[in-house]
Amino acid sequence: MTELAENPLLVGLGPRRTPEPCVLVVFGASGDLTRRKIFPALYSLACRHLLPERFAVVGVARSDWSDDEFRERMEHAVREFGRDDFKQEVWDWLAEGTRYLSTDFADESGENRLGALLNELDEERGTRGNRVYYLAVPPQAMETVVTALGKRRSTQGWTRLIVEKPFGHDLESARRLTQRISRHFAEEEVFRIDHYLGKETVQNMLALRFANGIFEPIWNRQFIDHIQITVAESLGIEGRAGYYEEAGAIRDIFQNHLLQLVALTAMEPPIDFTADSVRNEKVKVLKAMHTPGPKHVVRGQYGPGYIEGKPVPGYREEEGVAPGSMTDTYVAAKLFVDNWRWADTPFYVRTGKRLPRRETTIGIQFKRAPHPPFEESATEELRPNLLLVHVQPDEGVSLAIGAKVPGQGMKIRTVHMDFMYGGAFRTELPEAYERLLLDAMLGDQTLFTRSDEVEEQWALVDAIVAAWKRDQPAFPNYAAGTWGPAAADDLVHRDGRNWLRP
């Protein structure tokens, strides 16, 4: 084996934050996630010498491929989806430790062959029995794989389990899955992945609040009028009708991404930035969030329309979708966090498919300045101060302030102070999966959700869905390429407010 320490790519490099030797086993390796995210992320980590010196990857799936065929497919994936220029020597090092096993998840003989392959890699690659199992499998296969892995786990080395969302379909199924996992794996070995938490700008929310003395004193109901969080997608369901018909927007995005963004925005300062300290504060927010009433939740489904000038079909016209489907593709809600910091401060959240553009933003709207002396000279363009965090696609932070218009007289209007990651740091932002894969190998759970977080999120969603069962909305109720149903605008207009338009 060619040791990475002997690789010329490492010459001149100082100490790095690298994990211990290990094998990454990806279940469901023939799927899109492995091709678009996991292997490009591994390649980027290899480019930066952040993978362990002794490392191997095993892809496990039903597709009948050889090792070489799997490597070839993953090389094409890295060339197509990787953010770094392709370097043959980096790929050759990663490919050298890459294997593939064709088997059914519930096949005992396949389990035996996987165990033998992992033992072989321990000898060949020096991975010391350390395992990271990545479950990129359908929800219905998860319990089967977890049980098989638990029964055969080795006493040598450590084991970590990365579980892709969705973690259950509702509170009951999430608890059942947690119980099944806990029979074989301790909570500190389980990494429930939410890729939004790996985004640099989401993590920057913590730095923005707790590393800057100007924000924390005003980060409360006394100074903030309301908060808006938008997770907008211009894409449709992209051939995932089987999953989406069961999940809808409320389980696909609202239950995890949106509620996590609320928790990060509203949380109290942790005593330190260890995993449990951060997650303890997020759980407190989720526990303090009461179930919104029917008037405070809007659901929608897109009909035919236009995205960037091109016609697109309605949801019910998508392949695999029932003609009379009542699945939600849009959810907006007015949430309240009932604690001392946020009492009576609304959190307006929304997510939807086939909206005009892909955009994830967190908007902190401050209250108007009390009795400004130049109120009569303010132009119509003067708005309250707004701190806008751009999570994607144009990562950065913008602060709207009032400023005098040049010239005679005291004319005031809103201007923007912008910080963009690309311009400030002159470096390309890492993909979320790079950070999350590396953290899982290091055993750092800070950016992964804990079981009690997941249960609190599902409890809120289950209560909303239970209320929905009592009525049948008229779907579709918004055209593709618009910002959602009219009822979503009414949700904020009733309070004398408007949605922020990107």
CA distance 15 to 25: 26
Spatial CA neighbour of 348 closest among 227, 198, 188? 227
Is there a catalytic annotation at residue 257?
yes
The encoded tokens of residue 227 equal 């908060």
Report the alpha-carbon distance of residue 80 to residue 248 in Å, rounded: 29
Rounded Cα distance between 313 and 476, Å, is 11
202 neighbors 264 (Cβ within 8 angstroms):
yes
3-state secondary structure of 187: helix
Residues ≥6 apart with Cβ < 8 Å to 418: 396, 397, 398
Which residues is 336 bridged to in the sheet?
346
Chain centroid offset of residue 223 CA: 29
Distance (Å, whole) CA 455 – CA 424: 39
* Among 434, 456, 17, 447, residue whose Cα is nearest residue 191: 447
d(CA 228, CA 333): 10
Max CA separation in the chain (angstroms): 84
**Which residue among the candidates 257, 296, 416, 493 is catalytic per the annotation?**
257
The residue assigned the tokens 């260890």 is: 274
Which residues are marked as active site? 257
